[in-house]
Amino acid sequence: MNSQVAEQKVEAKRYGVQYPVSAYTWPSDARIHQVAFDDEYIYVDLIDGRRISIPLWWIPTLHNARREELEKYEINRARTMIVWDPTKCAINDELRIGDYLGPGPASEADRPVE
């Protein structure tokens, strides 16, 4: 059987680059600017303009705390953690913002089978 293959010419369309890479802002560091709460989330505004929304149910000590206790946090000197000091409120916890910016530890399902 004799088959003929038709050649199709595909043209790639090229677009000009609107902005150079140097015009973009790339976050280099996650430093906390301010913190806010509602009934479901903690909102962490970073110095570079990003806003991280973390569900309170991810953090049981915060999820089960009263609003007035949530407000008794401190931002550490490096501006990388939110700390609730148990000598100043009913919460004993700390939140490292870096833990909420990328993939966390591998879950059981992601771990290799030995």
Domain that holds residue 43: 28-103
pTM of the model: 0.69
* DSSP for residue 88: T
- pLDDT score of 110 more than 70: no
**Does residue 98 sit within a domain?**
yes
Sequence letter at residue 69: E
Burial grade of 62 (CB within 10 A; 0-12, 13-18, 19 or more):
buried
Q: Which among 93, 110, 108, 106 has a CA at the least distance from the CA of 58?
A: 93
Domain count, the chain: 1
Examine residue 108 and state whether it is found in any structural domain, yes or no. Answer: no
Model confidence over 26-41: pLDDT tens digits?
Answer: 777 889 999 999 999 9
42-95 pLDDT, tens digit per residue, is: 999 999 899 999 999 999 999 999 999 999 999 999 999 999 999 999 999 999
Find the farthest-apart pair of alpha carbons in the chain and give their distance in angstroms, rounded.
87
Domain harbouring 56, CATH code:
3.30.2020.40
Tell me how far apart the alpha carbons of residues 80 and 82 are, in angstroms, rounded to a whole number.
7
